[in-house]
Structure 1
Amino acid sequence: MMSTSDRFSKRGPVSRVECGVVSRHNTALKSASAFISVGVSGVTRAPWTMLLACFVVALASANAVQAEQLITLRNGITLRGVYIEIATLDQNSFSLGADGGIQSRPIWMVDDGLRRTYIHRRGMVNNAPVDVPDLGLRIEFPQPVADGGDEVGSIGRILGVSPLNAYGRRELTVRGVDGSPTILHQGLTELTARYAKLETLKAEKSIRLDMRVATESIDTPSLLRIFQKRLDPNNPDERLETVRFFMEAERYGDARKELQSILNQFPEQEELRPQLTALVERQAMQLIEQAQLRRESGQPRLAEAILKQFPLGRVGRVTRLRVQDELTAIAKIRTQRDETVALLRKLLADLPAADQAALKPIADEIDDKLSANTLNRLSDFIRLGTNEATAARQRVALAIAGWILGSGSGEQNLTLTISLIEVRDLVQQFLAHPNPGARAAILAKLKTLEATRAELIAKLLPLLPPPMASDQAIAIHRGSEDAMESSDAAFHVPIDAVPDPHVQGMYHVGLNQDDYNSLTVTKPFDIPEPSYVVQLPPEYDPLRPYPCVVALHAAGAAAETQLNWWAGVASKQFLAPDESAAVEAADTETTQPPMPDHVRLGRAAQNGFIVVAPRWTRGGQQSYEYTMREHDAVLRSLRSAMRRFSIDADRVFIGGHGAGGAAAWDIALSHPDIWAGMISISAEPRKTLLHYDVNAVYMPTYIVMGEKDGRPLKRNGAVYDDYMSYQHDAMVVLYRGRGKEFFYEESGRIFDWMKTSEHRRPRLPESIEVASMRAGDRFFWWLEWDESLPDTVMDPILWDAVSSPKHAKVSASVGANNEIRISQAPSTAFTVWLSPDMPLDFGDQITVRYRNRRSNFQFSGEIDMLLEDTRTRADRVRPFWGKVSIP
């Protein structure tokens, strides 16, 4: 009988297993051993501990193999891999040394085996890299790989991929040079927890290609088939390699199932049974983390459901306590909500009858809509509401003012608060009403109310429901403008939005894809009404502001494909419908439409993002054309969506694939005041993007491409170099051996990037230094001009006819003495928009200068501009209060 040590050192038919370095110190090994011991007491651990045998070997040869590093970036992202410093991303041999030699840039290339991430060291790296364990398990598979032939320089568009068979082989069908399908036969030659290495196999005409795909993208049945073919199924020691692989890949559920299968087949391995507990613990921690993510993303009911279905009987005491703490935190918020409403109603009962009647509707509204998403509005009331030294009238005013204005309002004047309720309702009518005459009448009525103050309206605007989904909007739409009382509905279907009959939380606005394509073909110069699809996250609450991705589809694709990428492909609902809801629906007199039976469970759903996918291309369009027609289609769709869905204007990102990636890139740099960041995947930068890198200083940028997408660093390396500066927040990601793809593997890191606190729309800049080349690129934050001078604009359609396109410089700043100076711009007539968010004193005269011209502005407290700007731009977070024109 073999000893435990002998059994675990035998490798079987796997060609070779390489052990990476754990660390240059022993702490990593201690940490790994501690993890294995979780939940196990008084049991011999020798067999399981020997799974770490190769880690021990690696420690003995730490100097021979380089460890990976953790590199923390200033934007909040942490990269892991081996880094080297390079001079440039530009691999164009004709440009190297053209200006007196290579200009050395401190660029770091971080290679994790799957992809290479390029960053500017001084501009992006937060502190010194930290050594961490390399990948512990590298399994190599013998394959008849091509050892000769030409190396693939470019991979055409992928037409199909077959699943990996038991031998780790597949067929990759790509579009050839002549457009016909070409089949590449690939074999799995190396597998780690992070990536799988696929190389082309020998053929009559061999070619060489080293392609990397994320291991997480390979399904478990395929991996098991490969392991079963390579490992001896009757040797438990070899089977344990599968368990160890799944552990390192953090697929603890798969590891647990495989270990259970080993124990079922080999009952004599009973000493391994306690290790199931360790795997259950790790799987349990993943469930807890998912529940926390859902709660933080505004999905407390789903978080609670995950935790209540938790297998408490199979985990240790510490984990059980953590689950209970999470459930207690959710219950505490619910209890606090109920206690807050009860206290408010108790205080209302102590007021005179007239006040009670006036305040009952708002108290009912608070009771109906107060939740974990809005409880923080009443933080002042929660803190001071039980203070008997303060009169009941003042405490009630504190609660209602907090509900309307948000935390920190501190308003205790009940008379003003009652007026504030009417102001809020009239503001919602103004924002929702399509009739200019009706809006003028609403504005006139507003000006008679005590609480009509610009500073109060600016505070309440972000807390309103979307203008086209409010009670007031529904009443106006139904023609009953006098019936403005609050509805019992927690969520109104927004005006002109159509719920998808099959997918929960999906809405259609405007034309469908076929009709939109037909219209743009028959009337190519018309600007269609906004047409887009929207996917809301689970438990959507119109009173919670959500981050949003405006996702642009590839040329020839439908807008819906972007919902699939960002929010997940709609799948059959796996949870049984709520029985109480079904009974309630059965008791109603009206017939309810059937509940959609499909849900999206992808990254946007998990992280609480709204996805808006505009229809932006003409029918038959094959590439991005850099026109204002395309910009208008995207920007009009965004504003339309912001009027209908609760989008946080400070956390709107734009992204896209292929031509959509180029469009996202260009639109972001042409209108940098709108976006919190830009994600471009498999895009080709052309035209204005070759000149707008100065605008990118204001725009966090995330660029993803494939190494075999026609040698991108040779074609566009000089463009990417422009983003490798101290001023840019930019990451360029290059997937090894990949072509023009959608790179879903990168989506997890992209969402982490979007969620960092650094990636919010920054404050209005004190100075503006940007470039403009198109007639429509004439609004930057607070500076606008009506028309660009003729010799400063380019027609994108005629771009190639100009020998040396040039951009116009735009320069303006807010200076001392309440003065704004326009130094340079491609116009002679300007509008400067004004906001208290700018470093200006609105109590004093504001002066705008351009050369020898000047205009003055004195804020008089008027709300006309504030409301009209909010209505037209749909930005309830940063409305402008006034404007100055020159001349």
Structure 2
Amino acid sequence: MLTLQNVQKKHLTAFGLRQLTLLSVCLFLMSQPAAADEVLLKDGTLLDGTAVKVPGLTASVVNRNVKGNVRIDQFWMIDDDVRRYFVNRLLVEDVLESDDLARQITFDLKHQRTSRKAGPSTVGGFSQIEPFDQFGRRTVFLTVNQERTPIIQGITELRPNSFKVDSLTHQWEYYLDTYTLQPEILLSLIEQASNRSDPNERKAAVVFFVQAKMLKQAEAELDRISEEFPELKDWAEDYRSQIYEARARESFHEIDSRRKAGQHQLAITFAKATPVDKVSGTLYRTSREILAEYEEALQKRDEVVLMLDMLQAKIDEKQADKLRSLRAKLLAELTIDTIDRLNPFLRSKVDDSLSPDQKLALAYSGWVLGEANAILDLNEAILLWKARFLTLEFLRNAEDPLHDDELIEQLTGLEFIGMERIVQMIPLLPPPLMGPFLPPGQIDQRVVPVSADEAPTSYSIMLPPGYSPHREYPLLVVLRASGRTENETLNWWGGNQQKQGWSQRRGYIVIAPKYCDEIATSYGGNTTAHEVVTKSIQDVRKRYRIDSDRVYLAGHGMGGDACLDIGMSRPDWFAGVIPITGVCGRICNYYWENGPDLSWYLVNGDRDRTTLDTNANVLNTMMKHRQNVILCVYKSRGYESYYEEQEKIFAWMQLQQRPPLSEVKEFEAGTMRRSESSFNWIDAKGLRDDLFPADIYSQRKAKPIFGKATPGNVVYAQVPGSGVTVWLAPELVDFDERIQIRFNMKRGRNEFIQPSIKTMLTRLRETGDRKRLYWAKVEL
């Protein structure tokens, strides 16, 4: 095979270099991997497969990246048989070579071919898929030229990680992940492909199941070997201990995931069910430590109740009366996730130098402000609870401006309460508007007003198991494909009440906004969808504890098209965007620079219409500019849901966060639509009509909105309009010094700007975003 490395070493003309580079890429893309690697990205993502450097994402864009005699392989391509991942080489931390693939057990199967018709050049989705039978055959139905075409397929090769599917009637083959095959079918195929009377081949079957991480099946095969081959009983028992160890490691991984998701009861259940008596001492100790940590948390809770009762019996009766309602609320909110707020209080148990009043102050102030900000003055702690109540009242009040002023007057009139204290308590507040608690897998729907001239819309929502309003949760916003409902889309990501999906297992709140009409078959760049998505996010942030730095947008088909548009148009709303079978619209050619810190995970099939070629130009440019993009391309497959990719997508999302405000002190974003006038901490006003014609594509480029806050307290705002609102926070400026604001390169205000609790809380009430708190705003 002509490799990229060989081409690079030859002395060629510019024309010859480009032609041979194109040929080498095509030859490589048709080849199968022969070794396995682990590619570790700088964000912690791990990709497995054969890794090689390539100069472009597709053959069609290679010539754009090869200039004259200079060629740079800017991308890593990681091929695992089923799919290929593409990433910028500068985002790769390390590439670890492995010979695991060479040691893998494989089984070959033969089928009778009935025809060799040309296979489908594009696959627009299966109209029907029959399951594989015991011989590894099935029939799938495609719609080709408006005709329903049956294609008979057979499994011709089994590997622990993948199996090969070959058409018996057409020229079409590809690989699927082994875990997607029913275990009983897999065992039937192994039995047909091996000599079951040969002890060595029976051992190979066990090793195959272990390599495939199908440990339950490996154990069952060991049972059969022990019974049928008594001479292998010792070998089977020795191998069984290794399987127990592997199962325990899998169990501990799931326990750790459930703990991180706040599903503590499930984690305890898994920990107790782990067969620790049959594993190594290390895993046994790990299991005991997990259970001990939970037992300690429960003991802490009991200790808190006892200490509060004992101490409150020792203080002045009037003070004790004030604490009774606070005690009830504290205990109602006390969970494993919130117990750490009381660490200073619990430590005070053995400190005889502190009075009962001071110890109680540590409890009640720590609960409102967090353990790092606990204080020793009980009167001040009681005032903090009053400030907490007034803050929540303000955030709930959206209809009565006069009541706003009354609440702010009471809040600012409290002694010891200022902006810093309010900022400290906001992350620990319960949701101002409590949403309904839903059983795992159950779906609820909420109506949301969009704007004065638009009819209300709605979103469907699913909560994870063990949801608590007193811990933060990541939010996944999913947009449906054509022909699917919002509820079906939620079920795809989260499962149902009978079977938990990945969003439930990993502790995500999931919403499906009704971003288009029920009969819609394409996205079409409808900007009303943008407002529906953002209004839905704002609404759910007010009713549930959402981590605003971990909001993700995902969609299939036309929902993927919308993801690409909305993600590039509103990059400061999301930590990551996951378009599946989505197509980059023309707007992406103008907007790709808007979110340099936004992470992308795109999934397509290389026979899905012209999707890959359509997307390649934009993605190639984004990746060359070091944007955090992973492109996943399933080989010889078309328009599908790609359920197999979910586990990897959730693992990737766990590593992505929206950057803190301190890291967006300087930004530039382009806009071609009047509705897109706000980015990060700048809102543009008075955008001229002539800047936004009806046909946005008649413009040569997007109009920039630019913001920059320098260390010298100089703020620059540049917008294509007559005015601007600048939102300010301590991460951007120093409020103790004069702040100079320059608007459209003209010198503007230069003065001391006072933080305002009302401004901050009004903005928070509107957005529900607790991670970006703005202390002041300036109108120019």
Percent of aligned pairs sharing the same letter: 27
Q: Is the 8 A contact 2:387 2:414 kept in 1?
A: yes
Q: Is the 8 A contact 2:668 2:706 kept in 1?
A: yes
For 2:113 and 2:353, the matched residues in 1 are separated by: 83
Task: Give the superposition deviation at 1:296.
Answer: 2.2
For 1:458 and 1:344, the matched residues in 2 are separated by: 27
Secondary structure of the structure 1 residue equivalent to 2:715: strand
Match of 1:210 among 159, 168, 173: 173
Deviation string for 1:34-65 (max 9, x for gaps)?
A: xxxxxxxxxxxxxxxxxxxxxxxxxxxxxx99
Counterpart of 2:289, as a letter, is D
Hey, what does 1:377 align to over in structure 2? 341
Deviation string for 1:582-638 (max 9, x for gaps)?
A: xxxxxxxxxxxxxxxx34412112211111111111131111122221111111111
Q: Is the 8 A contact 1:654 1:678 kept in 2?
A: yes
Match of 1:449 among 414, 418, 423: 414
Q: Is the 8 A contact 2:107 2:190 kept in 1?
A: no
Q: Is the 8 A contact 2:606 2:637 kept in 1?
A: yes
Q: In structure 2, do the counterparts of structure 1 residues 103 and 775 end up closer, same or farther at CA, with 3 Å as the change threshold?
A: farther
Residues 200-279 of structure 1: pairs in structure 2 closer than 5 A:
200-201=167-168, 203=169, 207-267=170-230, 269-274=232-237, 275-279=239-243
Q: In structure 2, do the counterparts of structure 1 residues 385 and 555 end up closer, same or farther at CA, with 3 Å as the change threshold?
A: farther
Hey, what does 1:198 align to over in structure 2? 165
Hey, what does 1:880 align to over in structure 2? 774
> More relative contact order in 1 or in 2 (CA 8 Å, sep 6+)?
1
Q: Is the 8 A contact 1:163 1:222 kept in 2?
A: no
Residues 1-12 of structure 1: pairs in structure 2 closer than 5 A:
none
Matched, 1:343 2:303: no
Task: Give the superposition deviation at 1:77.
Answer: 0.5
Hey, what does 2:533 align to over in structure 1? 634
Q: Is the 8 A contact 1:550 1:654 kept in 2?
A: yes
Task: Give the superposition deviation at 1:341.
Answer: 3.6
Secondary structure of the structure 2 residue equivalent to 1:213: strand
Count residues in correspondence. 745
Matched, 1:608 2:507: yes
Give unmatched runs, 5+ long, in structure 2.
1-31
Secondary structure of the structure 2 residue equivalent to 1:829: strand
For 1:759 and 1:601, the matched residues in 2 are separated by: 27
Q: Is the 8 A contact 1:96 1:102 kept in 2?
A: no
Hey, what does 2:292 align to over in structure 1? 328
Secondary structure of the structure 1 residue equivalent to 2:350: coil
Task: Give the superposition deviation at 1:326.
Answer: 1.8
Deviation string for 1:484-526 (max 9, x for gaps)?
A: xxxxxxxxxx2xx5958xx655322129xxxx9xxx9xxx995
Q: Which moved more, 1:422-431 or 1:433-442?
A: 433-442
Q: In structure 2, do the counterparts of structure 1 residues 353 and 498 end up closer, same or farther at CA, with 3 Å as the change threshold?
A: closer
Secondary structure of the structure 2 residue equivalent to 1:527: coil
Q: Is the 8 A contact 2:550 2:656 kept in 1?
A: no
Hey, what does 2:462 align to over in structure 1? 535
For 1:627 and 1:407, the matched residues in 2 are separated by: 47
Q: In structure 2, do the counterparts of structure 1 residues 98 and 80 end up closer, same or farther at CA, with 3 Å as the change threshold?
A: closer
Q: Is the 8 A contact 2:165 2:174 kept in 1?
A: yes
Counterpart of 1:527, as a letter, is E
Q: In structure 2, do the counterparts of structure 1 residues 664 and 383 end up closer, same or farther at CA, with 3 Å as the change threshold?
A: farther
Counterpart of 2:176, as a letter, is V
For 1:758 and 1:676, the matched residues in 2 are separated by: 5
Hey, what does 2:759 align to over in structure 1? 865
Hey, what does 1:815 align to over in structure 2? 710
Deviation string for 1:18-45 (max 9, x for gaps)?
A: xxxxxxxxxxxxxxxxxxxxxxxxxxxx
Hey, what does 1:849 align to over in structure 2? 742
Counterpart of 1:304, as a letter, is I
Hey, what does 1:412 align to over in structure 2? 376
Q: Is the 8 A contact 2:443 2:487 kept in 1?
A: no
Secondary structure of the structure 2 residue equivalent to 1:257: helix
Q: In structure 2, do the counterparts of structure 1 residues 623 and 794 end up closer, same or farther at CA, with 3 Å as the change threshold?
A: farther
Match of 1:125 among 75, 87, 92: 92
For 2:494 and 2:738, the matched residues in 1 are separated by: 49
For 2:162 and 2:51, the matched residues in 1 are separated by: 17
Hey, what does 2:141 align to over in structure 1? 173
For 1:698 and 1:246, the matched residues in 2 are separated by: 41
For 2:583 and 2:258, the matched residues in 1 are separated by: 36
Hey, what does 1:91 align to over in structure 2? 59
Q: In structure 2, do the counterparts of structure 1 residues 149 and 599 end up closer, same or farther at CA, with 3 Å as the change threshold?
A: closer
Deviation string for 1:247-305 (max 9, x for gaps)?
A: 10111111101221333344454334413333233223322322222122211111111
Hey, what does 1:720 align to over in structure 2? 619
Q: Which moved more, 1:531-540 or 1:312-321?
A: 312-321
Q: In structure 2, do the counterparts of structure 1 residues 849 and 132 end up closer, same or farther at CA, with 3 Å as the change threshold?
A: farther
For 2:386 and 2:378, the matched residues in 1 are separated by: 13
Task: Give the superposition deviation at 1:762.
Answer: 6.1
Q: In structure 2, do the counterparts of structure 1 residues 646 and 146 end up closer, same or farther at CA, with 3 Å as the change threshold?
A: farther
Task: Give the superposition deviation at 1:344.
Answer: 3.5
TM-score, normalised to structure 2's length? Answer: 0.90
Deviation string for 1:371-390 (max 9, x for gaps)?
A: 21112222333344532223
Matched, 1:748 2:647: yes
Counterpart of 2:312, as a letter, is L
Match of 1:785 among 645, 669, 684: 684
Hey, what does 2:149 align to over in structure 1? 182
Q: In structure 2, do the counterparts of structure 1 residues 257 and 307 end up closer, same or farther at CA, with 3 Å as the change threshold?
A: same
Hey, what does 1:162 align to over in structure 2? 130
Counterpart of 1:355, as a letter, is Q
Counterpart of 1:836, as a letter, is P
For 2:504 and 2:548, the matched residues in 1 are separated by: 19
Task: Give the superposition deviation at 1:242.
Answer: 2.5
Deviation string for 1:108-160 (max 9, x for gaps)?
A: 111111211101111x1113544452251232222345895545321112222
Q: In structure 2, do the counterparts of structure 1 residues 71 and 671 end up closer, same or farther at CA, with 3 Å as the change threshold?
A: same
